[in-house]
Structure 1
Amino acid sequence: MAIINKNLKFLRTQKGLTQKQLAEKLGLKQAAIGAYEEERATPPLASLLDITKIFNVNLDALVSQDLSKVPEKERKASSIKQGKEVLAITVDSNNKENVELVMQKASAGYLSGYQDIEFVKDLPKISLPVLPRNRTYRAFEIQGDSMLPVQPGSIIFGEYLDDVAGIKNGKLYIVVTQEDGIVFKRVFNFADDEGKLLMVSDNRQYQPYSIASEDVLEIWTAKAFFSNQFPEGAPGNQSVSDQLALQIVKLQQELGGKKK
């Protein structure tokens, strides 16, 4: 019997559930559970994710380890960070990964549905041809003015980062946590110092703050952005348009001098 099928039967019987009871919890028919346990079928990803939640186990352990030989305490302890280990993705007709767009109005739902393939599948898709291929991207609409001159409502394209250890201090990231939601910040990794990440805004009117690295659900390295507004300068500085205007005036004066 394949390990995943064996584990499913072990977890179900250990918790004292019948096939019918487990099927009801998963929204499936009893026959499906029987097929899984008898190795006549393999649970799809969506069902596997539901199984990890019901039995409080790690997905990687569910599909690769004999859980009957793993102490229950260790199985539960290993499931704490399961949210970071599974990334729901979708592909197009050419088997190329889509770039899903998370708008502001969908940000609250994303916190509970980011692992749900059905939720992710329903997100709008967006494309940016200049992004390198064979990598996983997602786009997020940002809120607020904490990262000026990047304007509120801008779309940030992020490349998936599977471990906070890969953070490069001072670079821009989209960070997803249950407490803060989806934020766009410069991040400094102080994981060796009590496991903290320092979140810094480009708009200095906002104070830096720290979060626990273990609270991060997802992190995306900012690679590009789109905005329907031209960026203004940072608070207290000349805007880009002001600087361009001064350069044009200066150029006109120089040309006028040459004509004389």
Structure 2
Amino acid sequence: MAKSTIFFAENLRFLRERRKLTQQDLAERLGATRSKVNALESGQTKSPVMDDLIGVSELFGISLDSLVRVELSKLGELKLRELEAGNDVYIRGGNLRVLAISVDRNNNENVEYVPVKAKAGYRTGYNDPEFIAALPKYSLPNLPAGGTFRIFPTTGDSMEPIPEGSDVVAQFVADWASLKPDTPCIVILRESQDFVFKLVTLGQDGKVLLKSLNPLFEPYLVPVEEVLEIWAFYAYTSREIPEQEGDMRQLMRMMAKMQAEISTLRTQ
């Protein structure tokens, strides 16, 4: 039987550089020395010990099978994000990182609520079962079967007419490539201590376009590697009755639209 190609050394270097880490940075995160990281990356260590393999797998959120048997640099960014989210579509094996959920006594998934005070910690605790288990839990009727749902509070007025302070019920998106352009979503960003509620469009250039419903807010791009999770909008609840748009708001909306159209014409 032909010997399988092992890509661990190349993948380790690729993943480190993708995160913009130095060998010393990676060594500190793995609890190793820089010389050991250099030996692993250069292939001098022909048979890495299991502790090193597991440490790298957990750090980068890539399954052991893909870490060793798939040449990750040949994959597109969206496919890499699928691997990091636990959707190992290349190799059927054990994924070390999956979506953390909680269940009730009947083994049914809870709908966790991420309160405002927990928003800052969600970025680091989103895949920690203990953190998720500590969140408030609800059981909502009439949710589609087979989905995982979570509730996120909104801030600001960028998604008007949805009122500020609404609670958005959203469904976990495992396959980002399945998102249609301008899908309303809760987006968890890697470097932000907050999450954003935007219209999401995935580009082919490794960028994610985030747009607001409120035209007074300019759309912007973020690198796809900065996105940790995407939750597609399902419903929202609010204690406010949306007010009818006044003349001034309509005028401001029209002016913003005209400015956007003028900017588009200037770039053509």
| TM-score, scaled relative to structure 1 | 0.61
Which among 201, 210, 216 is matched to residue 188 of structure 1? 201
Q: Is 1:230 matched up with 2:233?
A: no
Residues of 2 paired with 1:222 and 1:74: CA distance? 31
- Select which of 126, 134, 140 maps to 1:122: 134
Stretches of 4+ aligned residues off by more than 6 angstroms = none
Deviation at 1:58, TM superposition (A): 4.3
1:199/1:208 Cα in 2 relative to 1: closer, same or farther (>3 Å)? same
Aligned residues: CA RMSD: 3.2
Q: Alpha-carbon deviation of 1:119?
A: 0.2
| Equivalences for residues 125-144 of structure 1 within 5 A | 125-144=137-156
Unpaired runs of 5+ residues, structure 2, are 1-30, 32-50, 87-97, 252-268
> Could you tell me how far 1:55 is from its partner in structure 2?
6.4
Aligned residue in 1 for 2:209: 198
TM-score with structure 2 setting the length = 0.60
Match of 2:151, SS state, is strand
Cα pair 2:200 2:211 within 8 Å, conserved: yes
- Kept in 1, the 8 Å contact 2:61–2:84? The answer is no
Preserved CA contact (<8 Å) 2:179 2:201: yes
Shift of 1:222: 0.3
Q: Distance in 1 between matches of 2:58 and 2:237?
A: 42
Structure 1: how far apart are the matches of 2:58 and 2:210? 34
Matches of residues 1-260 of structure 1 in structure 2 within 5 Å? 52=55, 56=59, 58-61=61-64, 64=65, 70=68, 81=81, 83-85=84-86, 86-180=98-192, 181-190=194-203, 192=204, 194-233=205-244, 236-237=249-250
Is the 2:153–2:168 Cα contact (8 Å) retained in structure 1? Answer: yes
Deviation at 1:136, TM superposition (A): 0.6
Task: Indicate if the aligned counterparts of 2:62 and 2:84 stay in contact, CA closer than 8 A.
Answer: no
The code of the aligned residue for 1:186 comes to: L
Q: Take 2:113 and 2:187, find their aligned partners in 1: how far apart are those partners?
A: 15
Indicate the residue corresponding to 2:91 in structure 1: none
Structure of higher CA gyration radius: 1
Query: 1-side partners of 2:58 and 2:201: how far apart?
Result: 35
1:119 counterpart SS class: helix
Is the 2:170–2:185 Cα contact (8 Å) retained in structure 1?
yes
Structure 2: which amino acid aligns with 1:103? Answer: P
Partner Cα separation in structure 2 for residue 189 and residue 87 of structure 1: 21
Partner of 1:19: none
Relative to structure 1, the CA distance from residue 234 to residue 148 in structure 2 (aligned partners, 3 Å threshold; closer, same or farther) is farther
Q: How far apart are the structure 2 equivalents of 1:94 and 1:185?
A: 34
Give the unaligned 5+ runs of structure 1: 1-24, 26-47, 239-260
User: SS of the counterpart of 2:191?
Assistant: coil
Query: Deviation of residue 209 (structure 1)?
Result: 0.5
Give percent identity, aligned residues only: 39
State which drifts further: 84-93 or 153-162. Answer: 84-93
- Check the 8 A contact 1:104/1:143 in 2, yes or no: no
